[in-house]
Structure 1
Amino acid sequence: MHTNKLAGETSPYLLQHAHNPVNWYPWGPEALQLAVQEGKPILVSIGYAACHWCHVMERESFEDEATARIMNEHFINIKIDREERPDLDHIYMDAVQAMTGAGGWPLNVFLTPDRKPFYGGTYFPPVKAYNRPSWKDVLLSLSQAFREKREDIETQADNLTQHIGQSSQFGMQSGIDLQLPKDELFTAGQCESMYQQILAQADKVWGGFGRAPKFPGTFTIQYLLRYYHYFKEDAALQQALLSLDKMLQGGIYDQLGGGFARYSTDEKWLAPHFEKMLYDNALLVDVLCEAYQLTGSKIYAQTIRETLAFITREMTSPEGGFYAALDADSEGVEGKFYTWSLEEVEAVLGVQADIFCAYYDVTAEGNWEEQNILWIQQPLAAFAAARGLDEATLDGTLATCRAKLMAARDGRIRPGLDDKILLGWNALMIHACCKAYAALGDDSFKEMAVRCAQFCVEHFPQPATNGAWYHTYKNGEAKYPGFLDDYAFMIRAFIALQEITGELGWLYRAKEMASFVNTHFADETGHFFYYTIEGQSDIIVRKKEIYDGAVASGNAVMAANLWYLSIVFDNRQWADQAVGAVASLAQTVVRYPTSFGVWAGMVLQLVKGTKELAVVGQEFITRMEEINRHYIPFKVLLGAAGDVPEFPLLQQREQSDKTLIYLCQDYHCLKPVAYIKEITNLI
């Protein structure tokens, strides 16, 4: 008699299933050995705490005694939190996509006792529906097939496992001559071709790319902003800003509390999937900072402030780390915390309700499932003009109304919080806080970044190793070996911290971590990295992730990191590595820029060059802050009070009683200037 073994876990998702009658195990030696001993197939069920359909399947099937009996009798049942073990999720998601052509969560995949996948799918209903077989039918037919046709199943599983291993080579070209000059490997024509491809997929009315469901697409928006900056192509800027503006006016943005939901279920950004993830908010702050630096638009500055206020209020631990996610559901109902009936709004706002409801589209019949999601159909200036109202007065009235509704909403039952702290996602938010400080100069953003970085430095390194870090932290305990993303994003965060604090120690940390990644994650080509550290024994294949999906590929970010650090430390080998990675993917990136947005930005950077800015003298911090206000997409920025021999850009630069700014590219420097405004035309 086995029992449910999840009660001792820290993952909120696993703990949600700790009381199921299913004999769940966490992934680990106990369950994996049991499958081999008993000769039973393994059912791996993967989800995450903020996942709506995961909750539905739990209520319908995993809490049902009769269903649990079938699962317990025929399978070894393992529950995985995909955010704790993205490595396993990637492998088994690839398997299900190869078998069915579709993927998503909950992910339910059946493995042979030696962990190789042979069948899988996403959500299965309790009775046959939506053209999907019932969960019980699936369980019974698979356990019968495994008993009667085990040899066939194992052959099929072997073939599929081989396929997964090979599929991570997608799009990589070998045999590229890296001795060619950079301007032959990377061209303005490639940049234009990517821009045209992106525009062909762009929604010219509602912003974003492709059809519903719509994800934020921050890397693609960022590419358009940077492309505009260098090539002055107005349509690039218009599409980027349209995408941001429509999201900011939409229901995907929490109009009362700030912060973004994960994606929109419709093309107008009205109805989000209400879960809020740390990484989306970090990436949207990143791109909003660039839009603000480029346009000076107040609305972008306000959204950055509101989003970081939401992160501070709802997603920051007492120690300064950032929590992973907020659930879509509260009281078992999706979106209940965020939606309003007309009566509720009128009860809170009284006489001000009419104008508020007109602006935010609140009606008696509702705009979503008989409730109202607050969203803006007409920008403030146009709305005020159409009604003959003073814009500033209206703005003040709406702000007062929002504060009243927010206070009322605070009395509601809150959505569940996934309070684990993930290294890579924290690094993304540190980077976003650095960019927000650079753009807006608000000290609280710098404090957020430094405090979280210090928390990570204190709690994530693995003791008695030569530089290995953990992946996740909760209740005083860090665990699971870090993945490529964790290291790549952390290196990028360290780089950003030096640019806003002027403390060179962050760059030494970045260099040390980059060396570690090169030693323990590099593949045979020397240009790319595996997702998992060498020697990790519980995975069936070692994958390479190169797509830029909801978060950037660790490989893309490592290429950018190595390029930056190669300039800072004059390391030719790291520069060649970065160029080699981008060059061997360039053809694929140019063809599919919306799937490789960060890589696309790297191609653009290698075409347009990297501005190297060194500031030396007593006033170096002030001068760095002035430089940070400007939009300089591809730059290396270093500062110090005097010469620092370890950094070529800071060597022999000191001039007594002066603080000087040196602008260099490829180590050729212009005559130094005292203020950035003297050379902005060159940047």
Structure 2
Amino acid sequence: MPNKLAEQTSPYLLQHADNPVDWWPWSPEAFAEAERRGVPVLLSVGYASCHWCHVMAHESFEDAMTAAYMNDHFVNIKVDREERPDVDSVYMDVTVALTGHGGWPMTVFLTPGAEPFFAGTYFPPTPRPGMGSFRQVMEAVVDAWRTRRQEIEESGADIARRLAEAAERGPVAGLASNPASGVADELTPGLLDTAVAGLSARFDTRHGGFGGAPKFPPSMVAEMLLRHAARTGDGHSLDMVTLTCERMARGGMYDQLAGGFARYSVDATWTVPHFEKMLYDNAQLLRVYLHLWRATGSALARRVVRETATFLLTDLRTEQGGFASALDADAVPAGATGTHSRPEEGASYAWTPAGLRAALGEDDGAWAADVLGVTAEGTFEHGTSVLRLLADPPDQARFAAVRTRLAAARATRPQPARDDKVVAAWNGLAIAALAEAGALLDEPDWIRAATGAATLLRDVHLVDGRLRRTSRDGRVGTNAGVLEDYGDVAEGLLTLHQVTGDPQWLAIAGDLLGVVQAHFGAPDGGYFDTADDAEALLRRPRDDSDSATPSGQAAVAGALLTHAALTGSAEHRRAAERTVARFAPLLSRDARFAGWAGAVAEALIAGPAEVAVVDSPQLERIARLATAPGAVVVTGGPLVAGRGSPGVYVCRDFVCERPVHTAEDVRRSLGVKVAT
């Protein structure tokens, strides 16, 4: 019999709707039930494409005896972190503070007042060295609750108090108040040079990327470095992006058959990925590779753009025109039956030499094994390998045919599940990427797809002037949009306005930024992640650092600056400047966690350029290839008004240079690198 998750819209919650655990969604009613029964709350947080979330579900939440114990001793709450990033943020801070690390699944034990007193991540069904079993953990919590409840409640209240105090200071504010940092709260070219030098010191000169294993795609840092290279002519910044993008695109993290990137690499060489494919990664990486191609003319980067855009439209686009959140990491192995029919990570993607020969025949199979790095020993598990493209084969026609045949063979295998909820912020990232890529590579279908996603957000997610975080099958969810939703959707709509000239997208973006100013502002000039009328949690979330996506603060700053460049709004520019200035200490200390703020800072220092094109499609296409940081290019609106003669007008702060009328002059003025 389904539990209380059966009516939810989240695919992750619905995965648990038939568990024997009596799960509740996050709600006041759940905490009231814990208060009525006098028991603690067991909070479990994860997401639909999370491998270890599936593992713990199979091992524990589907087990009748474990579920019975949970139901007898706790009120059990299940949260999709992608629907409720605010809840996830608050309790992840607790988990990291108590254990020294975080991750998903996240398990937190709370008082009926939502105050945390014990936390962890994955717990196994049986004890392991240094790790108790899930049952042992629960029994210890129950015993402590029964014998030392007052002490536990006092501890939970103390943790909640310290969490609130830390939130008031905030991570960026804390850095800014550190007298040892020696960094003024202002952004200068010298500060950005220091930030890039810090990145260079952490750069993996052999494999690209920053740091060691696991290695994540540094999308926001790459954008910062590309803009820095364009503004300063620094070849090393461009080299870091070029090497990183080439190694990622040739490694196992990139799907060599169908395009699209996996979430991250478990090693430092980009060989073996964690196989889930996220919308937010692919949207951002599509734009990074587009900008790399624009800066260098790289044929590899251009191919990755085309294949990744195709992946978004083919695998993630929903019937309603939005983009689904993710493809799972797991699938049931081909031919598995009975107890072996549980999903396994990477089952859709891994190959053996024998598998290649079965799909392609002896000659092509052996050739493909050499080209794609498939060995008898294997690079993954159980003697299997993840496909890599170590070098471009001379016979491109043969390679194209082999890829097509392998993709067809792979399609006969069980496929990963799709988390088909539509997240506003991530769709904003996809709209920006597809609209810009469609304009630069002359792909009108991509622009139409971006417009379709924007229309869905306008018609479904925008309710009474406010954004909702998610929808599914055209049905909007109840969770309020958070700061990143407003920033990323505004960014996407502003990009779509530039490409299409449709004024409605500029107007809606302006309205969203107005909501941010009215409801998200903080006393120090930055922003909270939740609105002033959102559900009150233990603290009001405010995460300044980038994670897998730009921080809400940085996303909003970028959209404010673009809006100012398009409209001439001094108010929006000042707000962008105030917000980005807060990141100066973090940029100086470790720009890996402030990449998008650094990219916005590069645009602020560069102007950004405001480019108005009047009655010249040929010059418009050249202008859109500009590498100038944060440049906006329009054929209508305030920038174009009153400019009668055909040509390109390059302005900064609405002060314009003399118009240019030839392709060569446009290229020189805007730093265009590639041929049209």
**What TM-score do the two structures reach when normalised by structure 2?**
0.93
Q: Distance in 2 between matches of 1:302 and 1:199?
A: 27
Stretch deviating more after TM superposition (562-571 or 370-379): 370-379
Residue 377 of structure 2 aligns with an amino acid whose one-letter code is E
1:19 is displaced (CA, Å) by: 1.8
Q: Following TM superposition, by how much is the alpha carbon of 1:116 offset from its aligned partner in structure 2, in angstroms?
A: 1.2
Distance in 2, Cα, partners of 1:262 & 1:175: 32
Assess if the C-alpha contact under 8 Å between 1:499 and 1:624 holds in 2. no
Instruction: Indicate yes or no: 2:603 matched with 1:591.
Output: no
Identify the residue that residue 154 of structure 1 maps to in structure 2.
Answer: 153
Q: Which position in structure 2 is the counterpart of 1:87?
A: 86
Q: Which residue of 2 aligns with 1:252?
A: 253
| Matched residue, 2:110 | 111
The alpha-carbon deviation at position 262 of structure 1 amounts to 0.1
CA 127–580 in structure 1, closer or farther in 2 if over 3 Å, else same: same
Q: Partner of 1:477 in structure 2?
A: 475
Q: Partner of 1:528: helix, strand, or coil?
A: coil
How far off its partner does 1:11 sit? 1.6
Match of 1:550 in 2: 548
* 8 A contact 1:262–1:277 mirrored in 2: yes
Displacement of 1:173 after TM fit?
Answer: 7.0
Equivalent in 527, 540, 543 of residue 529 of structure 1: 527
Aligned partners of 1:262 and 1:280 also within 8 Å: yes
The answer to whether the Cα contact below 8 Å between 1:339 and 1:371 also exists between their aligned partners in 2 is no
Pick which of 355-364 and 107-116 moved more.
Answer: 355-364
The CA distance in 1 between the partners of 2:175 and 2:410, in whole Å, is 56
1:672–1:492 Cα change, 3 Å: same
Q: Which residue does 1:388 correspond to in 2? A: none
Residue number in structure 2 paired with 1:653: 643
Residue 623 of structure 2 is aligned with which of 613, 621, 627? 627
Deviation at 1:313, TM superposition (A): 1.4
Match of 1:422 in 2: 423
Contact between 1:104 and 1:122, CA under 8 Å: does it hold in 2? yes
Deviations along 1:98-142, one digit per CA (max 9) or x if unpaired, are: 111100000000111011111110000111114111111111111
3-state SS in 1 of match to 2:453: helix
CA contact (8 A) 1:186 1:606 kept: no
Q: Does 1:43 align with 2:33?
A: no
Contact 1:61 / 1:67 at 8 angstroms: preserved in 2? yes
Which amino acid is the alignment partner of residue 625 of structure 1? R
416-425 vs 28-37, which moves further: 28-37
Residue 348 (structure 2) aligns with: 337
User: What does residue range 467-546 of structure 1 map to in structure 2 within 5 Å?
Assistant: 467-479=465-477, 480-525=479-524, 527-546=525-544
Counterpart of 1:180 in structure 2 is none
Cα distance change, pair 624–164 in 1 and its aligned pair in 2 (3 A): farther
Report whether the alignment pairs 1:372 with 2:384. yes
Cα distance between partner residues in 2 of 1:537 and 1:105: 23
Distance of aligned partners of 1:233 and 1:475 in 2 relative to their CA distance in 1, 3 Å threshold:
closer
User: What does residue range 608-619 of structure 1 map to in structure 2 within 5 Å?
Assistant: 608-616=606-614, 619=615
TM-superposed CA distance for 1:620, in Å, is: 5.2
Determine if the alignment matches structure 1 residue 167 to structure 2 residue 166: yes
Tell whether the 8 Å contact from 1:590 to 1:600 is kept in structure 2 after alignment: no
- The 2-side partners of 1:562 and 1:614 are apart by 19
Deviation at 1:166, TM superposition (A): 3.5
CA distance in 2, matches of 1:493, 1:6: 32
CA 1:153–1:553 in 2, change beyond 3 Å: closer, same or farther? same
Determine helix, strand or coil for the equivalent of 1:629. Answer: coil
Classify the secondary structure of the residue corresponding to 2:412.
coil
1:190-241 CA-partner distances (Å, limit 9, x unpaired): 1111111001111110111111000001111222222222222222222111
State the match for 1:387 in structure 2: none
SS at match of 1:536: coil
Q: Deviation digits for residues 576-596 of structure 1, max 9, x if unmatched?
A: 222112223212222110011
Structure 2 CA distance for partners of 1:377 and 1:413, relative to 1, 3 Å: closer
1:214, 1:269 within 8 Å by CA — same for their partners in 2? yes
Match of 2:233 in 1: 232
Aligned equivalent of 1:191 = 192
SS in structure 2 at match of 1:78: strand
Structure 2 alignment gaps of length 5 or more:
178-183, 333-342, 671-676
Query: 4-13 or 245-254: which moved more?
Result: 4-13
Say whether 1:348 aligns with 2:359: yes
The separation in 2 between residues aligned to 1:255 and 1:666, in whole angstroms, is 44
Q: Which residue of 1 aligns with 2:126?
A: 127
Following superposition, the deviation at residue 153 of structure 1 comes to 1.7
CA distance in 2, matches of 1:630, 1:613: 10
Q: 1:581 maps to what in 2?
A: 579
Between the aligned partners of 1:80 and 1:615, the Cα distance in structure 2 is 48
- 1:603 counterpart (578, 601, 605): 601
Q: Is the 8 A contact 2:231 2:629 kept in 1?
A: no
1:30-69 correspondence to structure 2 within 5 Å: 30-69=29-68
C-alpha distance in 2, partners of 1:570/1:303?
A: 35
Distance 2:64 2:57 in 1: 12
Q: Deviations over 1:410-432 (max 9, x none)?
A: 11111111111111111111111
Tell me the SS of whatever aligns to 1:172: helix
The residue aligned with 2:673 is none
1:410 aligned onto 2:411: yes
Which protein, 1 or 2, shows the higher relative CO under an 8 Å CA cutoff with sep ≥ 6? Answer: 2
- Kindly provide the amino acid, as one letter, of the partner of residue 357 in structure 2: E
2-structure distance, mates of 1:676, 1:92: 55
Amino acid aligned to 1:364: A
Aligned equivalent of 2:181: none
TM-score, normalised to structure 1, is 0.92
Letter of the 2:127 partner, please give it.
K
Q: Is 1:297 matched with 2:298? A: yes
Distance 2:2 2:349 in 1: 38
How many Å apart are 1:163 and its aligned residue?
A: 2.8
Q: Which segments of structure 1 move beyond 6 Å, counting only runs of 4 or more? A: 173-176
C-alpha contact 2:320 2:474 (8 A) present in aligned 1: no
Deviations 1:532-579 (A, max 9, x none): 122223522211121111000111111122222223333322222221
Alignment partners' CA distance in 2, 1:576 and 1:173: 23
Counterpart of 1:682 in structure 2 is 669
Cα deviation for residue 621 of structure 1 reads 5.3
Secondary structure class of the residue paired with 1:110: strand
- Per-residue deviation, residues 16-46 of structure 1 (Å, max 9, x unmatched): 1122211111111321211122221111101
**3-state SS, counterpart of residue 517 of structure 1:** helix
Match of 2:335 in 1: none
CA distance, structure 1, for counterparts of residue 73 and residue 528 of structure 2: 35
Of 559-568 and 322-331, deviating more is: 559-568
Question: 2:592 and 2:34 mapped to 1: Cα distance?
Answer: 41
Partner of 1:275: 276
2:190 and 2:242 map into 1 onto residues whose CA distance is: 24
- Residue 679 of structure 1 and its aligned partner are, at CA, apart by 3.5
Q: For 2:564, which of 563, 566, 569 is the aligned residue?
A: 566
Do 2:350 and 2:387's aligned partners in 1 also have CA atoms closer than 8 Å?
Answer: no
**Which has the larger displacement, 476-485 or 278-287?**
476-485
State the alpha-carbon separation in 1 of the partners of residues 647 and 61 from structure 2.
66
2:632 is aligned to 636
Provide, for residues 485-525 of structure 1, a one-character-per-residue CA deviation record: whole Å limited to 9, x for no partner: 11111100111011111222221111111111111111223
Alpha carbons 2:494, 2:505 under 8 Å: kept: yes
Point out where structure 1 has 5 or more consecutive residues left out of the alignment: 177-182, 385-390
Q: Distance in 2 between matches of 1:85 and 1:484?
A: 12
Asked if the contact 1:434–1:445 (Cα under 8 Å) also holds between the matched residues in 2, the reply is yes
Aligned-partner residue type, residue 449 of structure 1: A
Give the partner amino acid of 2:113: D
Deviation at 1:608, TM superposition (A): 2.6
State the shift of 1:625 in Å: 2.9
Paired AA for residue 15 in structure 2 = Q
Q: Is the 8 A contact 2:42 2:108 kept in 1?
A: yes
Tell me, in whole angstroms, the C-alpha distance in 2 between the residues paired with 1:362 and 1:263: 20
